[in-house]
Amino acid sequence: MDVTFRIRRFNPEIPGKNKPYWQEFHLTDVEETDRVLELMHRIKWEQDGTLTLRRACAHGVCGSDAMRINGVNRLACKVLARDVGNRIQVEPLIGLPVLKDLVVDMEPFFANYRAVMPYFINDSPVPADGRERRQSQEDREKFDDTTKCILCAACTTSCPSYWANGQYVGPAAIVQAHRFIFDSRDEGAQERLEVLGEPNGVWRCRTIYNCTPACPRGIQVTRAIGEVKLAIRSGSPEGIIEESVGPVASSNS
């Protein structure tokens, strides 16, 4: 099939291109099962070498190539031509500064990520046998869903609260905090709940649900945020999750 791309472009260094503008590209011989990322490579390699985008793994693992495809945030490497039809519109994520074409500055996103202490905290002595800190399967399941995050920023930049206010910590950082807050072996829950209880923490979430379908990993993002809110309300993560997420979903959209 033939496909027409409409791509939002921007190059701060070249006069005439230093304001965002749309550019169209046409591709022939497109297979239904081609991924949007491959098609954009074809544009870059065959038509316009200046088209700039970020990608690494090309298999939905690294989280580099989140962008807005036909209006919603997706990973270009996980969207097939047949999912989007033969008119494909591609734009950079909203709410993060655009550096060039589809490449956004992820630093504000990672600053929020770092603020929630996204690492294992446990200062008590190791168990007597000197081996692992044990955890039941049920306790492990409570945060299973949120371990899957690849930090692509699709959720955070789908959120109208984040568009309005870049100081809002955003869904992804809350998902990452959830992974540790509800880990029975971790001892940093209180500190994280304090951080997320700040005015620009979880309270900026208005339960809009744009983040959940945006997540390419099928993480139940808004649910995770809700559980963190309830943990802050009750003062501890104890007893908040009665029922874990269950069978792994590949997508919520």
Task: Kindly list the residues in this chain that would bind ligand FES in the complex (CB under 6 A).
Answer: 55-58, 60-65, 75, 77
Q: Which regions of 92-247 does DSSP assign to beta strands (E)?
A: 98-100, 103-104
C-beta neighbour count of 18 within 10 angstroms: 11
Shortest approach of ligand FES to residue 73 CB, angstroms?
12
Q: Considering CB distances under 5 to 8 angstroms, the limit depending on partner class, which of ligand FES, ligand SF4, other proteins, none binds residue 232?
A: other proteins
- How many Å apart are CA 35 and CA 14, to the nearest integer? 30
List the one residue from 100, 142, 217, 229 that touches ligand SF4 (CB under 6 A): 217
- How many Å apart are CA 134 and CA 221, to the nearest integer? 27
User: Looking at beta carbons only, is 101 or 156 nearer to ligand SF4?
Assistant: 156
Shortest approach of other proteins to residue 177 CB, angstroms?
10
- Write the interaction track for ligand SF4 spanning residues 172-211; mark x where CB under 6 A is met and - where it is not: x--x------------------------------------
Dihedral sign for Cα 113, 114, 115, 119, please.
positive
- How many Å apart are CA 77 and CA 61, to the nearest integer? 10
Shortest approach of other proteins to residue 235 CB, angstroms?
10
Residue of 182, 178, 177, 180 lying closest to 138 (CA atoms):
182
Question: Strands of 87-91's sheet, edge to edge?
Answer: 21-27, 3-9, 87-91, 66-69, 72-75
Rule CB under 6 A: which residues touch ligand SF4?
A: 149-155, 171-172, 175, 214-215, 217, 219, 221
Rule CB under 8 A: which residues touch other proteins?
A: 68, 70-72, 94-95, 111-112, 114-116, 158, 160-161, 163-169, 173, 191, 193-201, 203-204, 206-210, 212-213, 220, 222-227, 229-230, 232-233, 242-243, 253
